[in-house]
Amino acid sequence: MENHRKVSIKNWYKKHIESSDFGERLADSVASGMGSWRFIIIQTLIVAAWMVLNVVAYTQHWDPYPYILLNLLFSTQAAYAAPIIMMAQNRQSDRDRAQADEDFRTNVEAKKEIEELQIKLNAIEIDKLDKILALLEKMDKK
């Protein structure tokens, strides 16, 4: 019996993910979460609750209108979100570049294989034509 070794073939995406560190993976997941409807809905509910609780609070308004603390929280969130999202976009650019490189390599290999097949088909066609000509010459001699 032959000894078969299990060969692990990794595509460009798996290689790219495995090469990323904790911070890069965290940036991707934060950007993914912040770019979702779930985040927008949850944030909208929190803001609405914040405003309602500050309006109906009779004695202690922790953030009365015009909601300066809420604006500060939004500014802080934006200050951290922007660079995190840019890191994730840079990584997406890296992934796109890796995919384009892999697609290019695949296309080059496919082109080589097609050219080799074309050469083989031409050889077969020439061989068939030579055989047909040989048969025709035999028929002419008879």
Whether 27 contacts 92, CB under 8 Å: no
Q: Classify residue 12: in a domain, yes or no.
A: no
Whether 65 contacts 126, CB under 8 Å: no
Domain that residue 35 falls in: 20-141
Residue 47 has what pLDDT?
93
Averaged pLDDT, 17-37: 85
Tokens (6 digits) for 38:
């779930």
pLDDT tens-digit readout, 118-142: 999 999 999 999 999 989 888 888 7
Q: Classify residue 7: in a domain, yes or no.
A: no
Q: Classify residue 50: in a domain, yes or no.
A: yes
Whether 84 contacts 31, CB under 8 Å: yes
Question: Which residue, among 79, 95, 82, 92, has the nearest Cα to 28 in the 3D structure?
Answer: 92
Q: Classify residue 78: in a domain, yes or no.
A: yes
Tokens (6 digits) for 76:
């802080």
Q: Classify residue 4: in a domain, yes or no.
A: no
Number of domains in the chain: 1
Q: Which amino acid is at 43?
A: Q
Higher local confidence (pLDDT), 46 or 7: 46
Residue 27: count of CB within 10 angstroms of its CB: 21
Q: Which amino acid is at 98?
A: A
Tokens (6 digits) for 26:
């965290």
Question: What letter does residue 21 receive in the DSSP assignment?
Answer: -
pLDDT tens-digit readout, 77-121: 999 999 999 988 988 898 899 889 989 999 999 999 999 999 999
